[in-house]
Amino acid sequence: MSDMSTLLAPIRERETAATEGPWEVRRGGDFQNIQIHAGSLWIDVVDGSHQTPPDGEWIDSPDIDFIASARTDIPRLLSALEAVEALAQQWHARGEHDMAFSKTIQDEDIAMELLTHGAGMVENARHIRNAVTAALGEQA
């Protein structure tokens, strides 16, 4: 199974290469379009109310709003997933530390408690990574 950073890398690359946001939705008259603005660059995406796209599919207003908000939403989602991965890394490292430290404790009960706690942290980190990786799928 791929790790989370491997799955996020191509998404982050596409996000970094895209026109900077925020993007704006501008509506005019009887049509809707998205104007993606970055400096002097404007890209218009017109919905199907006045013209049919090449594939014959109509683009409706929720799709236009989704496209426009993607430039803001995707970086926020990527940052959230990266924060979850950072937390899982911290838990894993702390769990490994606790398990190693448990070997230096003379009191067997305390050593076992620390070992169990550390193993639990490592296991929780694994569960978090597996859940996010499964939600992302193996394809990026």
Sign of the Cα pseudo-torsion (53, 56, 60, 63, in order): negative
High-pLDDT (> 70) share of the chain, %: 62
Helices assigned H by DSSP within the chain? 4-17, 61-102, 108-136
Tokens of 103: 């070997």
pLDDT range class, residue 6, cuts 50, 70, 90: confident
Per-residue model confidence as pLDDT tens digits over 64-97: 666 767 888 889 889 989 999 999 999 999 999 9
- pLDDT for residue 103: 96
- The domains of the chain are located at 4-136
Highest mean pLDDT among 28-32, 58-62, 96-100: 96-100
Query: Which distant-in-sequence residues (6+ apart) come within 8 Å of 33 by Cβ?
Result: 26, 27, 44, 45, 46, 47, 64
Residue 50 confidence (pLDDT):
38
Q: How much is the pLDDT for 94?
A: 97
Q: Which residue has the tokens 């070997």?
A: 103
Burial class (CB in 10 A: 0-12, 13-18, 19+), 10: exposed
Omega within 30 of 0 (cis) for the link into 53:
no
Q: CB neighbours of 35 closer than 8 A, spacing ≥ 6?
A: 23, 24, 25, 26, 42, 43, 44
The two beta strands, 31-38 and 24-28, are antiparallel
Looking at the whole model, is its pTM more than 0.85? no
Residue type, position 3, single letter: D
Whether residue 41 has pLDDT greater than 60: no
More confident residue, 134 or 25: 134
Q: Region 115-123: what's the mean pLDDT?
A: 97
